[in-house]
Amino acid sequence: MAEKDWTEIDADWLRENEVVRAYIAPHNEPSQFADESAFYAALLQAGVKYVVKVSTNVKYVGPTNPVYYGRSHWAIENLLDQTEFRGLQWTSLQPNFFTAMYLSSAAQWIKAYRRTGNQEVLKTNVAEDVAVAMIDPRDVGKVGAHLLTLDDVTPHNGARYVLSGPEDINGKDILELVESFANVKVETVEYKDVSWIDDLASSGVYPKKVLSSIKAGCIPLWNAQCSLSGSPTSKKIIALAAPSRTPIQALETMLRN
């Protein structure tokens, strides 16, 4: 096994390691387009035959979307559509909100309560009564693995597939999960919390100027566009490797870890 930062991979490294197919889950930092487009150019130059790309929520992907990384993913997918990239087959996976991110505050609350017996405010970005079909990242990886092992990927070349979890969940459901796992009545809950987005700037990775763009990503989450009915999983993915991990299973895993 060889390990290397994907943003530093070049055609020589790909040839040396005889890479013929690839899977990439790129970062969504402001340098995404520059880094990701360079990666695909290297794949093409090295003669790699197929790549599975993890994109972003389908509601973000477009040339005028307020979410900056949604525009970046749109630009990347259109780059791959160009005739110059004809030698590189590709598939884009457009996953719904990830359980790993949108249940993390619930997992942290439960762990803290179990450790201290004290209650903090339970904060969640999810709206109280608006459903979202969040997906476990493991299910996204499972889809990628199935695609990479197909003998013939031609039917999936240039495809953009929507991936959602197997069931809807809203803020009240998350509250009930927390109370069930912690065996206590939660005293204070804040829905539609965006304080964690402000914290991204203090990490030094995201400049303050993109925070409003990231917050704009909450709009489809809060108006039911990301529910099972609003963002159904593509039929070909249902047939290939339907997402199956529920929010409760994802939360159980997060608590074990």
Q: Where are the domains of the chain?
A: 6-256
> Edge-to-edge strands of the sheet including 50-54?
21-24, 50-54, 89-95, 159-163
Residue 215 has pLDDT above 90, yes or no: yes
- Between CA 189 and CA 172 the distance in angstroms is 10
Mean pLDDT of 162-174: 99
Bridge partners for 122 per DSSP: 189
Residue 93 near residue 130, CB atoms below 8 Å: no
| pLDDT tens by residue, 23-65 | 999 999 999 999 999 999 999 999 999 999 999 999 999 999 9
- Between CA 257 and CA 250 the distance in angstroms is 11
Bridge partners for 24 per DSSP: 53
| pLDDT tens by residue, 66-118 | 999 999 999 999 999 999 999 999 999 999 999 999 999 999 999 999 999 99
Q: Looking at residue 14, what is its pLDDT?
A: 98
Residue 137 has pLDDT above 90, yes or no: yes
Residue 1 has pLDDT above 90, yes or no: no
- Which of 3.40.50.720, 3.20.20.70, 3.40.50.150, 3.40.50.970 is the CATH number of 6-256? 3.40.50.720
- Between CA 57 and CA 93 the distance in angstroms is 9
Share of the chain above pLDDT 70, in %: 100
Residue 201 has pLDDT above 90, yes or no: no
Residue 160 C-alpha from the chain's centroid? 14
Q: Looking at residue 203, what is its pLDDT?
A: 81
